[in-house]
Amino acid sequence: MTTEIKYLDEQVSVSEQLDCDAVARLALAGVELVVCNRQENESEDQPTFAELEKAARENGMEFIAIPFARGQMTLQHCREFSELLASGKRIHAFCRTGNRSCNLWAVACRLKGAEDKSLLASARAAGFEIRDVLVAFDTE
């Protein structure tokens, strides 16, 4: 499986679903923390959380699941991801397409004070449109 990595900023990259070999390659790219945003057993062809965590740990990375279904992201999910951003670690987040992970990153960054204009530009450069999620999670 060839995984297209999309960089949102210097700390965070996202992609579609990973297999265990792709997790190992992330370590070579300097990733320290792998975050799964898809639900367990979302599709039969996806590795389990346990398999992904094992691959991450075997390659010196942490694995954390912040799972949610499409359209079901909550402010609590965003707060959890914001805490991970505060660690300063290089993070790779993934879901089925990368879209949920990008949305999560955007709202988490906004919680930390990032400007919408900058978030929109970064997401667009990576091929994502986040305007609707920023409107839905207007926390000001």
Tell me: the pLDDT tens digits for 74-131?
999 999 999 999 999 999 999 999 999 999 999 999 999 999 999 999 999 999 999 9
Tell me: the pLDDT tens digits for 58-74?
999 999 999 999 999 99
pTM of the entire structure?
0.94
Query: Rounded to whole angstroms, what are the CA distances from 37 to 70, 113, 116?
Result: 10, 22, 22
Q: What pLDDT score does 75 carry?
A: 95
Contact by Cβ (8 Å): 47, 1: no
Domains and CATH numbers, the chain: 6-136 (3.90.190.10)
What is the H or E stretch that residue 75 is in? helix 75-86
Pairing of strands 6-7, 12-15: antiparallel
